């Protein structure tokens, strides 16, 4: 099977992207695209990976079309959202198979404040999920999950860091599974 060709979308520090960069996966990272001037872009430069800062600006419709056009030029097998803090438009998800990482055991705690929400709910565990991106917010079918216990005294920051450790491993394992078995169908 030819190597898996991916585009990474990310908005933050890039620790999940770095796990993919450092993996021994048989992948070709075509480009890292960020909507923010963020550390993930610096990490991509350091890894010798093409990257692009694509800010939203005043008109979201224009940005969405620019994002679609850019990814379409790259023609990836898969788009991998790693901390990309934007809801992707229907036209994007209809065109590109896209997966996302999320710091909770979906369907619990969707959205941008999942770690805080888990702590406020006083649940005993949370975790991380990899799921297909659909039109909702973290509502696509789950591909894989790993639980993380919530310890007494956990803060949002300490729990987030423990989740990121398993999240990094899960994204690499998920991509390896796609390499070994093909990308499963989703729709």
Residue ranges, the chain, pLDDT below 50: none
Q: Which of 31, 43, 97, 102 is catalytic?
A: 102
At 2 the pLDDT is: 64
Q: Of how many residues is the chain composed?
A: 187
Task: Tell whether 187 is covered by a domain.
Answer: no
Task: Tell whether 157 is covered by a domain.
Answer: yes
Task: Tell whether 186 is covered by a domain.
Answer: no
21 closest CA partner among 41, 37, 1: 41
Provide the number of structural domains found in the chain: 1
Task: Tell whether 71 is covered by a domain.
Answer: yes
Task: Tell whether 60 is covered by a domain.
Answer: yes
Q: Is the dihedral of CA 100, 102, 107, 109 positive or negative?
A: negative
* Distance, CA of 140 to CA of 131 (rounded, Å): 6
pTM for the model: 0.95
Helices (H), the chain: 15-22, 39-46, 60-74, 90-95, 114-120, 156-181
Structural domain of residue 18, as residue ranges? 4-181
Task: Tell whether 30 is covered by a domain.
Answer: yes
CATH code at 82?
3.40.50.170
Task: Tell whether 27 is covered by a domain.
Answer: yes
At 186 the pLDDT is: 73
At 57 the pLDDT is: 87
* Distance, CA of 109 to CA of 126 (rounded, Å): 9
Quick check: 52 and 31 in contact, CB under 8 A?
yes
At 16 the pLDDT is: 97
102 noted as active-site residue: yes
At 185 the pLDDT is: 85
Task: Tell whether 12 is covered by a domain.
Answer: yes
């Amino acid at each position: 099977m030819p190597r898996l060709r991916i585009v990474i979308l990310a908005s933050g520090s890039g620790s999940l992207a770095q796990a993919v960069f450092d993996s021994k996966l048989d992948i070709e990272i075509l480009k890292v695209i960020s909507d923010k001037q963020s550390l993930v872009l610096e990490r991509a430069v350091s890894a010798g990976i093409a990257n692009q800062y694509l800010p939203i600006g005043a008109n979201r419709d224009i940005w969405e079309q620019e994002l679609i056009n850019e990814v379409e030029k790259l023609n990836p097998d898969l788009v991998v959202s790693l901390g990309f803090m934007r809801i992707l438009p229907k036209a994007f998800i209809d065109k590109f198979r896209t997966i996302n990482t999320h710091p909770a055991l979906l369907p619990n705690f969707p959205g941008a404040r999942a770690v805080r929400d888990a702590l406020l709910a006083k649940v005993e565990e949370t975790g991380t999920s990899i799921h297909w991106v659909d039109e909702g917010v973290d509502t696509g079918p789950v591909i894989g999950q790993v639980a993380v216990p919530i310890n007494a005294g956990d803060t949002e920051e300490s729990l987030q860091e423990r989740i990121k450790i398993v999240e990094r491993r899960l994204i690499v394992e998920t991509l390896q599974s796609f390499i070994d078995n093909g990308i499963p169908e989703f729709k």
